[in-house]
Structures are given as structure tokens and as C-alpha cells.
């Protein structure tokens, strides 16, 4: 059993965490972590929303409980006019950070934890004439 869906939009990578210290009302200093990617929250929300919609549309029985999973993600970017007609997207962001952002967005939506993913196929490419930017996602049980 697997579930496939498309999320339109410009893919955003997980990015790095920034750490800084704030002073609380009690005068104590506390460390705070924040994501450096500005559009990460809306991108994760779009992935989660589209995953929920796909489950409803497919009459999927619910999320995957503790099963080993495999994922396939194809991140599609718009081709700048100055870029030669190549298919693969060979500039930033890197696939591992794109994958991590999408995996985290699907946690508690399709599965309990990203550690359930035992195999992943990830690709970055430029969108073709008929498709827009976004990510194609397939999540399934390992058979």
C-alpha cells in the first residue's frame, strides 16, 4: 500500500539552525534555536496539507504505524531563462536538506517518526513545460 501526491510551490530546504541567547524576564539567559530558512514553515504546512488531502481523496485508512517505509521524492524547480536546457537541477539547495524538510513535514501526518523510513529515492530536476515547481511524493510500506 502506498500514497502519492503532488505539492505545488517552490521547494524549501531544512536549512541550518541559528542559535542565539535571550534574556528572560527573570534576568536569566536562555539559548534559543531557530530555522534559517524563511519560507520553511509555509512549505512544511503545504506538504502536510496535501498529504492529508491525498489520504482523504484516496480513502486511505490512516497513517503508517511503526512499519518500515520507503519514500520517493522528486523536487521540481522552475528553470531560469539563463539556464541551459538541462533536466537536472545541480545548484543549491542540496537534496538531503530538501528531503529532511519534507520528512519532518510528514511526521505525525503520514507516520509517527521519520526513523520509520528505511529507503529513500530523491531527485532534483527542473520542471517541464506541463508541470510546475513543487515536489512529487510517494510513501509506501516496504514489502
pTM: 0.81
Q: Is the pLDDT of residue 78 over 80?
A: yes
Average pLDDT, the chain: 85
pLDDT digits (tens, 9 = 90+) for 58-75: 887 667 778 899 999 999
Provide the pLDDT for residue 77.
92
What stretches of the chain show up as alpha helix (H) in DSSP? Answer: 40-57, 95-106
89 versus 41: the higher-pLDDT residue is: 41
Where are any strands of DSSP class E within 2-133? 2-8, 17-23, 29-35, 69-77, 117-126
- Domain architecture of the chain: domains with CATH: 2-141 (3.30.1330.70)
Here the cell at position 9 is 510551490
State the Cα–Cα distance between residues 107 and 105, nearest whole angstrom: 6
100 versus 79: the higher-pLDDT residue is: 100
> Residue 65: CB partners within 8 Å, gap ≥ 6?
111, 112
State the Cα–Cα distance between residues 50 and 71, nearest whole angstrom: 16
**96 CB neighbour count, 10 Å cutoff:** 12
Distances (CA, A) of 12 to 53, 57, 98, 110: 20, 25, 6, 20
Amino acid at each position: 500500500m502506498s500514497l502519492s501526491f503532488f505539492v505545488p510551490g517552490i521547494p524549501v530546504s531544512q536549512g541550518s539552525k541559528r542559535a542565539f541567547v535571550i534574556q528572560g524576564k527573570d534576568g536569566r539567559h536562555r539559548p534559543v534555536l531557530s530555522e534559517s530558512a524563511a519560507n520553511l514553515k509555509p512549505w512544511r504546512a503545504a506538504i502536510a496539507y496535501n498529504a492529508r488531502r491525498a489520504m482523504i481523496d484516496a480513502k486511505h485508512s490512516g497513517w503508517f504505524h511503526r512499519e518500515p517505509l520507503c519514500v520517493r521524492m522528486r523536487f521540481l524547480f522552475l528553470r531560469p531563462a539563463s539556464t541551459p536546457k538541462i533536466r537536472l537541477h545541480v545548484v543549491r539547495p542540496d537534496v538531503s536538506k530538501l528531503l529532511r524538510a519534507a520528512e519532518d513535514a510528514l511526521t505525525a501526518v503520514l507516520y509517527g517518526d521519520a526513523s520509520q523510513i528505511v529507503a529513500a529515492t530523491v531527485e532534483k530536476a527542473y520542471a517541464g513545460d506541463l508541470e510546475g515547481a513543487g515536489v512529487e511524493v510517494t510513501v509506501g510500506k516496504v514489502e
